């Protein structure tokens, strides 16, 4: 009898913690620095129609490698401002499920490089050194 109460308590605690984490990370619009009325997919299509190079950064707030890449991505964003647009896509946002499927996102961080013609040039998965990322940015031109 005691074991079943302990197990039930553990399950309840696990459910409450899981729900709390889902609430913390599940709300809000997740394409940072853009008009919150536009979805990630709409923004990407707009850039492609405008003949602009894009890097799609698939991430999650809870992902340590994603957070470790933030300084690299911010430095590249500053260096290539106006030439390459970085669109951050939170994989946990249900609104982005179509993009997750379209680009076959199975691990994060994932970076999709799209040239001005709208062609996917490359896809990198996981933590990357600055040199590797910069070489990929250069391929977009």
CA 64 to CA 37: how far, in whole Å? 28
CA 67 to CA 75: how far, in whole Å? 14
Q: Which fold has domain 30-139?
A: Glutaredoxin (3.40.30)
The residues assigned a catalytic role are 63, 66
Q: Please compute the mean of the pLDDT values over residues 4-27 and round it to a whole number.
A: 52
- The answer, yes or no, to whether residue 9 has pLDDT greater than 50, is yes
Predicted confidence (pLDDT) per residue in 34-93, tens digit = 444 567 788 888 888 888 899 999 999 999 999 999 999 999 999 999 899 999 999 999
Higher pLDDT, 112 or 2: 112
Tokens of 16: 């409450």
């Amino acid at each position: 009898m005691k074991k079943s109460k302990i197990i039930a308590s553990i399950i309840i605690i696990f459910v409450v913690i899981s729900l709390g984490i889902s609430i913390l990370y599940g709300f809000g619009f997740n394409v940072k620095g853009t008009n919150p009325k536009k979805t990630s997919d709409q923004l990407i299509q707009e850039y492609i129609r405008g003949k602009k190079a894009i890097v799609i950064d698939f991430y999650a707030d809870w992902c340590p490698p994603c957070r470790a890449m933030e300084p690299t991505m911010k430095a590249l964003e500053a260096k290539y401002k106006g030439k390459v647009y970085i669109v951050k896509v939170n994989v946990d946002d249900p609104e982005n499920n179509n993009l997750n499927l379209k680009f076959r996102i199975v691990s994060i961080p994932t970076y999709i490089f799209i040239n001005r013609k709208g062609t996917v040039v490359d896809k990198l998965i996981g933590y990357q050194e600055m040199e590797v990322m910069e070489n990929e940015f250069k391929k977009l031109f």
